[in-house]
Structure 1
C-alpha cells in the first residue's frame, strides 16, 4: 500500500512538473510578444484527484489604463498630423508665401507708389502684390479644404477598421466563452481578445466590462455600446468634396452620432475623435479667419461714388457689389480686372480710382502726381477694425495685425498639439511598461524557473525509479 502511494505521488509529480516545464517554455517563446501574458500552472486538489489549471497573469486596472492611453495618443497624433500639414502649406508670418507676409509686401508697395504716384511701374508692382496676396489666400483656403477632405477619407478608413476589429473581437470573445464553459485553457484566447481591444482603442476610445462566463461588453468612452453579445454597426457617409460651409457627416454607432457638435454622446479620444476635431473644428476656425482677412481686404479697398460703394482693388465676383457675407471669400477673392494689366486693366485706376466707372474716380483731373487715394488706402490698412471670425480671434485690431495673429494662432495650435501628442506618447509608454512588468514574461526568470523545474523533475524520476526497484525486489521475494 505504501509503495502504491509512493508510485502515484511520483507519477503525479512528474506530470505536474512536465506541465509546468511546458508552460515555462511557452512563456519563453512569447517573451517578445507585447500582447502575450505570462501563463501560470496551478495544482488544484479535489475528490477526483489533483487537476492542473492554467491561468494567465492579468491586471484589469493597468490594462484599462493602457487602453485609455492608447486612445489619447492616437487622437493627439491624428490632430497633430493634420495641423502640421496645414501649417506647412500655409506658412506663418515669417514665411514669404503666407497671407500675413503678402499683406506686408502689399503695404510696402502701396507706400512706394504713394511716394511716386506718377511711376506706372510702382503702381504695377502694387497690383502684383495684391495678386500675390489674393493667390496666397486662395492657396490657404484650398489647403484647408484638402486637409478636411483627407481627414474625412481617413475617417472612412478608421470606421472600416473599427467594424473589422469588432468582428475579430466577436470571434475571440465567443472562443473565450466556449472554452470557459467547457473548462478548457482559454489563456491564449484571452490574449487574442486583449490584442483586438488594444488595436480597437487606437481607433476609438473604449471602456470594457467583464461578465460571468468569460463574456465581455465594450462601449465607447462616451457610453455608446459597441459590443454586447454581438457587434453593433458603426457607419459613416463620406463627403466627396469640401468647400466653405460644408459640414461633414457624423460617425454613427448603433444609431447614435458620436462625432460632431450635434452629438449627444461625443467621443473624447481615439484616432476617430482626433480626425473629427481636425475636420470640423481646427480647420474651420482657420478658414473663418482667412475669410475674415479676405472680407476686410475687399472692404478696405472699396470704391464709393458718395452714395453706393463697390469693390475696388479686390473683388469676389464680376458684379462689383460688396459681399454680404465673408463665407468662402478667401477662396473667391481676386484682383479687379479693371486694374489688372494682365487682362487689359489700367494700373492708373489704383491711384485715381474709377475701377467701377468714371463716377467712382477720386482724382478730379489727370494729375499724375495725385497721391490722395493711395495715402487713404494706406491709412485704411492701418486703421483698427472689428474682426469676428469666431473664438479665439474675435478682436479689434488692424488688418495686418489680425493676419499676423491668425498665422500665430495656427502655429500656437500646432505647437500645443505637438506637446500634447508627445505627452500622450510618454504616458502610453509608461502604461505599457507598467502592464508588461505586471503581466509580461521576464526571460531570465523563466530560464531560472525552468532549471528549478528540471531538478524537480529529476528528483521525481529518481523516486519513480526507486519505487520500481523496490517493487521488483518485492516481486522477486514473492516468487
Structure 2
C-alpha cells in the first residue's frame, strides 16, 4: 500500500468515525423522544478511482413497521375502551349505588317510607307534605340523571368536533411532511428526522381513528382507516362534522338532528360495528352520543314510565278518570305511550298535590282530583299508593325483556345492569391496556438501548484512535523522507 493510499484510508476512517459518533450521540440523547427511531450508520468499502477506504452510504432509520402498526391499533383500542368506561362510570354515579342516600333506589325507598309514615297518621299535615316532598325528590332525581346523560352526550358532540378539527390538521401535516421527505430524498439528504416527525403525527391520527400505513414511492406514505376510508393517498381527505349547541333526548343521528361524519363530502357510517372510522377516540365519542347515551336514557325513561303508570290507574286513585294525570306526570300531562323518549327529563309531581306549585298536600290522602278534603283519618289512598309502589308490573324497554317488577326492584335491576355494563367495560379496558403496554415495551426494546449505544461509541473511539495513529505514522514517515 502506498503512503497516499494509507493516508486516504485513514482520512475516510476518521470521517466515518466522526459521523458514527454523531449518530450514536443522537440516539442516546433521543432515547426517550416519542416517535424517534434508532439510527445506524451504513458503511461500505470505497474502491473507486484507485482510491480505497470507508464510504459513508447514509444513515439508516431502524423501525419495525408491523410492530408500530400493532401498537397504534392497541392504543386506539385502549382509548376507545377508556371512553366507554368513563361514560358508564359517569352514568352509575348519576343514578347512584344502593348505599348512596341520593341514589334513585334510596329516593324510592324514602318515598315508600314517607307513605307508610303518612298512613300511620293521615291527619298530620306535616307527614302529607313530607310524602309529597319525597315524591318530588324522586322526580328530581330522575330529571337530574337524565340531564346528566344528555350533558354527557353534549360533551361527546363537542369532543367529536374538536377531534375532527385535530384530525384534519394532522392529515394535512402528514401530506406536508410527505412532500418535504420526497424533496430532501431527491437531493440526497437525510430524511430520518422528518420521518420521526411524521411518525409522531401518524401516531396521533391512529389514536383518533385507527389507520394502516402503506408505503408509496419516494418515501411517501398513504393512510387508510381500518374501516376502509382513504385518509391520505397523495392528498389528504377532508373530514366533515357539524356540532350542535345542546343535545336533547329526542335528537339522534337517524332523524338528522345530530351530525354524522363526511369524508370529502360523502357521508360515512359512524356506528361501532361498521363505522368508517371505527375504533379509537373519535368512534368512542360517537358511541357515547349515539349508543351508550341513548341506551342510558331509555333505561331512565323506562323507570319514569313505570312510576307514572303505577299512580295513574283509577283502581289505585278512584278520583281519577280515564286520561287524567296521577301523582307523577309527564310535565303536568298524563302519560302518552307514543311519546316516552326523554320522559325521565319531563317527570314531575302533579301540581294539584304539590304546595310548591300551588297545590294542596292533602290530596295525596284524598285523591288527585278531590275538590274538598275528605276524612282526615282515612289512610286508604296512602296505603293504596304504598301497595302500588310495590306491586309487580310487567316492564318493557330499557334492556329489560318483559319481566314484572316493583318500583324498588326495577330500580335495583337497572342499577345492577348499569354496574354490570361498567364492570364489563373495565374488563375490556384492562385487556386493551395490557396489550398496549406489552406492545409498547416491545417497541421500546427495539428502539434505542443506551448501554449498547455506549458500547458502540467506545468502538468508534477505538477506530478513531487507530486511524489517527495511522495519520500520525504517515506524517512521521513524510517528515523522515523530507529530512533525507
Report if TM-score (shorter chain) is over 0.5.
Answer: yes
Q: 1:20 to 1:324 in 2, by over 3 A?
A: closer
Q: CA RMSD in A?
A: 2.5
Instruction: Please point out which of 418, 423, 427 is paired with 1:419.
Output: 427
The question of whether the paired residues in 2 share the 8 Å contact of 1:303 and 1:310 is answered with no
Whether the aligned pair in 1 keeps the contact of 2:181 and 2:191 (CA below 8 Å) is yes
For 2:473, which of 461, 466, 475 is the aligned residue?
466
Residue of 141, 152, 162 corresponding to 1:136: 141
Relative to structure 1, the CA distance from residue 94 to residue 266 in structure 2 (aligned partners, 3 Å threshold; closer, same or farther) is farther
Q: Of the candidates 408, 413, 435, which is equivalent to residue 400 of structure 1? A: 408
The change in CA–CA distance for 1:396 and 1:469 in structure 2 (over 3 A counts) is same
Deviation per CA, 1:336-366, whole angstroms, max 9, x where unpaired? 111112333222322222x2356xx9xxx94
Secondary structure, counterpart of 1:416 in structure 2: helix
Deviations 1:264-308 (A, max 9, x none): 644331111111111111121111111111111111111536862
Offset of residue 257 of structure 1: 4.1
What is the alpha-carbon distance in structure 2 between the residues aligned to residue 400 and residue 231 of structure 1? 55
Structure 2 counterpart of 1:232: 237
Q: Does 1:30 align with 2:30?
A: yes
Specify the alignment match of 1:329 in structure 2.
Answer: 343
After TM superposition, list the pairs within 5 Å mapping 1:203-242 onto structure 2.
Answer: 203-242=208-247
Give the CA deviation at 1:230: 1.3
Secondary structure in 1 matching 2:235: coil
The answer as to 2:66 corresponding to 1:52 is: no
How far 1:213 moved relative to its partner?
2.1
Q: Classify the secondary structure of the residue corresponding to 2:74.
A: helix
Q: Offset at 1:59?
A: 0.3
Q: Hey, what does 1:267 align to over in structure 2?
A: 277
Distance 1:124 1:87 in 2: 30
Equivalent residues, number: 470
Kindly indicate whether the alpha-carbon contact (under 8 Å) linking 1:303 and 1:309 is maintained by their aligned counterparts in 2.
no
Residue 41 of structure 2 is matched in structure 1 by 41
Q: Which SS does the other structure have where 1:145 is aligned?
A: helix
Find out whether 1:196 has 2:201 as its counterpart: yes
- Verify the 8 A CA contact 2:309 2:335 in the aligned structure 1: no
1:47 is displaced (CA, Å) by 6.5
Q: Which residue of structure 2 aligns with residue 283 of structure 1?
A: 293
Residue 111 of structure 2 contacts residue 138 of structure 2 at CA under 8 Å; is this kept in 1?
yes
* Equivalent residue for 1:344, pick from 353, 358, 364: 358
What is the distance in 1 between the residues matched to 2:414 and 2:453?
59
1-structure distance, mates of 2:405, 2:245: 37
Residue 377 of structure 1 is matched in structure 2 by 385
**Unmatched tracts of structure 1, length 5 or more:** none
Question: Is structure 2 residue 68 aligned with structure 1 residue 68?
Answer: no
Picking from 115, 128, 142, the partner of 1:110 is: 115
Deviates more, 1:398-407 or 1:384-393: 384-393
Match of 1:123 among 124, 128, 139: 128
Contact 2:207–2:281 under 8 Å retained in 1: yes
Q: TM-score, normalised by structure 2?
A: 0.90
Distance, in Å, in 2 between the alignment partners of 1:389 and 1:416 is 21
Q: Deviations over 1:199-246 (max 9, x none)?
A: 111222211111232121111121101111011101110021111121
* Pairwise CA distance, 1:130: 0.4
User: Corresponding residue for 2:369?
Assistant: 356
| C-alpha contact 2:223 2:233 (8 A) present in aligned 1 | yes
> CA distance change for structure 1 residues 259 and 412 in 2, over 3 Å: closer, same or farther?
farther
8 Å CA contact 1:309–1:322 kept in 2: the answer is no
Structure 1 residues 420 and 264, CA, compared in 2 at 3 Å: closer, same or farther?
closer
SS at match of 2:135: helix
Residue 106 of structure 2 corresponds to 101
1:385/1:153 CA distance change after superposition, 3 Å: same
What are structure 2's unaligned runs of at least 5 residues?
253-257
The 3-state SS of whatever aligns with 1:388 is strand
- Deviation string 1:166-224 (CA, Å, 9 cap, x unpaired) is 12211222222223333321111111111111111122221111123212111112110
Q: Please tell me whether the aligned partners of residues 386 and 395 of structure 1 are also in contact (alpha carbons under 8 angstroms).
A: yes
State the SS of the aligned residue for 1:44.
strand
Does residue 1:430 correspond to 2:438, yes or no?
A: yes
Contact 1:43 1:52 in 2 (8 A): yes
| Residue in structure 2 matched with residue 15 of structure 1 by the alignment | 15
